[in-house]
Amino acid sequence: MAQRVLVTRPDPGATRTARRLEALGFEPVLLPLSETRALPVVRESVPSDATAVAVTSANALRHAPSGLIDRLRRLPCHAVGARTAESARKAGFFSVNEGPGDAAALADMIAIELGKATLAYLCGRVRMPEFERRLGMNGTKVVPIETYDTIALAPDPTFVRHQLGGQPIDAVLIYSARSAAAFSTLMEMHAEADLLMRGATCFCLSGRIASALVDGLRVAVAPDPNEDALLELLGAPD
């Protein structure tokens, strides 16, 4: 029997991850523990002196209103990695630079290119501070434009029971601190989920995410904060 891997991220990412897991020989189990919601944004949020745009999450583009994209599309867009770069092209940006897949490394690249210029940063309300901190240290002015928020979910017990199917879970993929907190709550409040998942290893995208889990769980942290590194931790299916 294939190892069962719980995917806690919301769609559209969850479906893509499930396909990757199936191709690797795992059995994906979808149980979203967070969702993204658009935030109101006005065109005036864009600084008039911005010379470039940065995006570290495809969600920031997915939730950005069309008027905001129209205001920015002629500026060079620096995307954190391949998938975000593709999203930027689809959104209508004319010039997209694909980064190395890591927000900190992207910040260093942008700092070298822009220097003390102003950068419009499409982002979520919940985000890691390292990207903005590194750019600020190098003199680049970063203006965050929050297009979405990440909300923790408390799924209905009946839905949880249906998704788990009464079979143990071998691994859990956790992509955000909100999902980690929601997973911890689920384990505390749902006896059957605790029984079926207590022996699983929680594979987290970063140490910050892992720190949001309750004590007593088996945890592994991806060496790089991207899904490729996360899936490599799973190893080969039994």
pLDDT of res. 23: 94
Element (H, E) at 137: helix 130-137
Looking at the structure, do residues 15 and 42 belong to the same domain, yes or no?
no
Range of the domain at 157: 4-33+153-234
Q: State which of 83, 116, 150 marks the end of a domain.
A: 150
Percentage of the chain beyond pLDDT 70 is 98
Looking at the structure, do residues 141 and 89 belong to the same domain, yes or no?
yes
| Sheet of strand 50-55, all strands in order from the earlier edge strand to the far edge | 34-38, 141-152, 118-124, 50-55, 77-79, 96-98
The dihedral through the CA atoms of 213, 84, 97, 145 has a sign that is negative
Looking at the structure, do residues 114 and 159 belong to the same domain, yes or no?
no
Can you tell me the distance from the alpha carbon of 88 to that of 78, in angstroms, rounded to the nearest whole number? 9
Looking at the structure, do residues 69 and 122 belong to the same domain, yes or no?
yes
pLDDT of res. 19: 96
pLDDT of res. 236: 62
The dihedral through the CA atoms of 201, 209, 224, 7 has a sign that is positive
Can you tell me the distance from the alpha carbon of 194 to that of 199, in angstroms, rounded to the nearest whole number? 9
3-state SS assignment for residue 171: strand
Looking at the structure, do residues 114 and 62 belong to the same domain, yes or no?
yes
Can you tell me the distance from the alpha carbon of 223 to that of 215, in angstroms, rounded to the nearest whole number? 21
Which residues are CB-contacts of 178 (< 8 A; sequence separation ≥ 6)? 33, 34, 126, 150, 151, 152, 212
pLDDT of res. 140: 94
pLDDT of res. 62: 95
Looking at the structure, do residues 8 and 96 belong to the same domain, yes or no?
no
Q: State which of 87, 116, 150 marks the end of a domain.
A: 150
Can you tell me the distance from the alpha carbon of 14 to that of 153, in angstroms, rounded to the nearest whole number? 15
Task: Give the total number of structural domains in the chain.
Answer: 2
Looking at the structure, do residues 116 and 64 belong to the same domain, yes or no?
yes
Please state the rounded mean pLDDT for residues 168-174. 95
pLDDT of res. 132: 95
pLDDT of res. 167: 92
3-state SS assignment for residue 80: coil
Could you tell me the CA-to-CA distances from 51 to 73, 76, 116 in Å, in that order? 11, 8, 10
Can you tell me the distance from the alpha carbon of 234 to that of 201, in angstroms, rounded to the nearest whole number? 9
Please state the rounded mean pLDDT for residues 187-212. 90
Structure tokens at 31: 């149980």
Judged against a pLDDT cut of 80, whether residue 189 lies above it is answered with: yes
Looking at the structure, do residues 146 and 157 belong to the same domain, yes or no?
no
Looking at the structure, do residues 163 and 77 belong to the same domain, yes or no?
no
Please state the rounded mean pLDDT for residues 200-204. 95
pLDDT of res. 1: 66
Judged against a pLDDT cut of 80, whether residue 2 lies above it is answered with: no
Looking at the structure, do residues 48 and 138 belong to the same domain, yes or no?
yes
Amino acid (1-letter code) at residue 6:
L
Looking at the structure, do residues 90 and 192 belong to the same domain, yes or no?
no
Looking at the structure, do residues 138 and 71 belong to the same domain, yes or no?
yes
Q: State which of 131, 150, 169 marks the end of a domain.
A: 150
User: Residue 133 is part of a domain; what is its CATH number?
Assistant: 3.40.50.10090
Judged against a pLDDT cut of 70, whether residue 133 lies above it is answered with: yes
Question: pLDDT class for 25, splitting at 50, 70, 90?
Answer: very high
